[in-house]
Chain A
């Protein structure tokens, strides 16, 4: 993916760039809002990482300008303002996802990659496939190697989220947001418990485990 990072904190920007590059992406950096807008307009990016507070032009204004211009590039907004209402404001301005500082790089990476995929026209998909795991979104059924697996509704949604991002890391926070619609971090390992239940259903009776825990990041459904 070709990603533009608009961030005035040079050290943070450099780490983000380095991390994204290590994950196999092409990264451009812009240090202020004006430059960021110019670069976003002049080149075709797959995703934009945008700090809310920028010199010369703030992130929301940049985003509004971009959207008014008809540019639909997925945008992840970064901000030190972690309150939910700030988040709503950011999403309303045309952002696709919102990440509050402090974020972990793994979280940022997972979200950027999830966003890049979201822009693919896959919304109308009715069947998901990851390795020998198959999911029918209409019939609400799951099969692995043609063997039917019975899942609770919440487990189904958990697996759906993992399958939509198959091969990529999905963080605990992302799961809480997408599966439960919670925007706070529980203090306990509540997600791990749900994952281990799901794991027991999809991995236990098969030779190769698919659902992996990624230390310091989250989970990945390995194809």
Chain B
């Protein structure tokens, strides 16, 4: 649940659509506020104004005609407009259609109206009342909202005028609710389409990334799929394909040059070696013979290095990947162990073989043997006498098969671990030992061909020694069921 969310968050388009949705939500909020103001608040203001004007009229009537005039006017105004509500109290006797107002009902005294509304009579208040349900006014039953103001006409006269605003309120509430729902739908749809577009975008970018990975691991034949739409991604795919065509041509030229050099150089070098050998065979003088033999050995060394470079280059093209077959690594590992155990013993090293379970990986027996043999030889070369080497085959937690060689030698500092996999890179400490600096590069190339991970880390550290040791592991991908 958490991981896909995190992945989604990393998607540019999804992030952009999230921002767009948030902006839309904010905008809708403003709009909602404005519409609420335009409908509800301004309507209420209009009602308040109307009531204020009516109260002014009542004041004038009171001045001219006294309480009876007011009484008369209340009776008259009450009837034609249903929304108009009145409460007039003269010497404690109420008139009007607001008798059921709880304040009036309690003690029937006008004073309670003032209590209900507070002392400030200029403020309009919204209140709740129950309209008459006798059908005379035709008002719907139940509790209605109304808005009204009151004035004190004299010490004993209170007048309260109000308007039923229930219909207005219901209408505006309906509008508000519709707006909120519309907004939620719009945001949800924005998110959904964001998800969809983000997913599509992620898939297209994913395809390009997959292409890059495949090409990096040697599959130069792959090309980016194009939809010919001419959009940015399509153009990017086109550029990538052009670039790959170009790289392909360069690689071919290089490989051709490499093969030619291999052929052209190997023949004269072979002749040189043969000449040295036959001269050594004919030499009468022991010293001369030894010199010729050593020269021949040097030539062999030269050729071997050259051979390794070509071998690595060939592996890196990934041409041989289709030759990988399902294989049981147990036997391969046992054979390597059997081959090197005596060497370890001679070097004063304790050798242990640990094989857990039976496994299957897709591999080339020869190349796998060579990689593991290189790792074991490295371990033997660098581990001081009295140390230990462990060759281990097991299934790690992710279900992948791991072959590791652990030693108690000097190890490789973390910042050098990537570098030692490059060709001809040798660490300062090992310069005095024989070797071409190609061993780990070859292992790396073989691992790459097998789509296996080649990991270098600290070993367990030897007994009574400060050396960290080295753990070199090949982690093979799980075999796809076919």
A12 and B274 within 8 A (CB): yes
Are A11 and B377 in touch, CB under 8 angstroms? no
Q: Is A41 an interface residue, CB under 8 A from the partner?
A: no
Chain B 321-347, CB-CB to A under 8 Å as 1, else 0, gives: 001000000000001001110110010
Interface locus among A61-69, A96-104, A122-130, A132-140:
A96-104
Those of B254-300 within 8 Å (CB) of chain A: 262-263, 266-267, 269-271, 273-275, 277-278, 280-281, 293, 296-297, 300
Q: CA A102 – CA B296 in complex, angstroms? A: 12
Interchain CA distance A154-B434 in the complex, whole Å = 28
Q: Bound complex: CA of A48 vs CA of B381, how far in Å?
A: 41
Query: Distance in Å from the Cβ of B446 to the closest Cβ of chain A?
Result: 10
Residues of B close to A193: CB separation below 8 A = 342-343, 346
Instruction: Give chain B residues whose Cβ lies under 8 Å from the Cβ of A85.
Output: 320, 323
Q: B381 to A15, Cβ gap below 8 A?
A: no
Asked whether B293 lies within 8 Å of A104 as measured between CB atoms, the reply is no
Once the chains bind, are A102 and B342 in contact (CB under 8 Å)?
no
Using a Cβ cutoff of 8 Å, how many contacts connect chains A and B?
98
Q: Which of A85-133 contact B (CB under 8 A)?
A: 85, 101-106
CB distance from A158 to the nearest CB of B (A): 11
Flag whether A55 is at the interface (Cβ < 8 A): no
Whether a CB of chain B sits under 8 angstroms from the CB of A205 is no
Chain A: interface secondary structure?
Answer: loop
Residues of chain A in range 149-193 having any CB-CB distance to chain B below 8 Å = 154, 180, 182-190, 193
What CA separation (Å) do A103 and B263 show in the bound complex? Answer: 13
Chain B contact residues, majority secondary structure = helix
Residues on A with C-beta less than 8 A from B439 are 187
User: How far, in angstroms, from A82 to B340 measured CA to CA in the complex?
Assistant: 25
Tally B residues with Cβ within 8 Å of A.
44
Residue pair A15, B278 in contact (C-beta under 8 Å): yes
The yes or no answer to B307 lying at the interface (CB within 8 A) is yes
> Is A215 close to B, CB under 8 A?
yes
Distance between A196 CB and nearest chain B CB, rounded to angstroms? 8
Point out the residues of chain B lying under 8 angstroms from A4, CB to CB: none
Interface size on A, residues (CB 8 A): 37
Contacts of B267 in A (CB 8 A): 9, 12, 80, 101
B323 and A82 within 8 A (CB): no
Q: Complex: how many Å from CA A16 to CA B339?
A: 33
Interface segment out of the listed B91-99, B217-225, B365-373:
B365-373
Contact check, A105 vs B277: say whether CB atoms are below 8 A apart: yes
- In the complex the two chains form, is B277's CB within 8 Å of A183's CB? no
B377 neighbours in A (Cβ, 8 Å):
186-188, 190
Chain B residue contacts of A101, Cβ below 8 A? 266-267, 270
Across-interface contacts of B374 in A (CB, < 8 A): 187
**CB neighbours of A18 from chain B (8 A):** 278
B13 contacts the other chain (Cβ, under 8 Å)?
Answer: no
Q: Which of A102, A185, A215 contacts B273 (CB 8 A)?
A: A102
Tell me the bound Cα distance from A51 to B34 in angstroms.
93
Taking a contact as CB atoms closer than 8 A, the residue among B271, B300, B335 that contacts A15 in the complex is: B271
Q: Is the CB of B274 within 8 A of A19?
A: yes
Residues of chain B lying within 8 A (CB to CB) of residue A25? none
Distance from B314 Cβ to chain A, minimum over Cβ atoms (Å): 6
- Say yes or no: is A22 at the interface (Cβ < 8 Å to chain B): yes
Other CB < 8 Å A-B pairs besides A102-B273, A105-B277, A182-B373, 4 of them? A104-B296, A105-B274, A105-B278, A182-B366
Pull 26 A–B residue pairs with CB atoms less than 8 Å apart, ordered by A. A12-B274, A15-B271, A80-B262, A82-B311, A84-B366, A85-B323, A102-B270, A102-B300, A104-B300, A105-B274, A154-B338, A184-B369, A184-B370, A186-B377, A187-B435, A187-B439, A188-B343, A188-B377, A188-B381, A190-B340, A190-B342, A190-B377, A193-B343, A194-B339, A197-B342, A216-B277
A-B pairs, top 9 by smallest CB distance, nearest first, are A102-B270, A80-B263, A101-B266, A15-B274, A184-B370, A105-B274, A102-B303, A193-B342, A216-B293
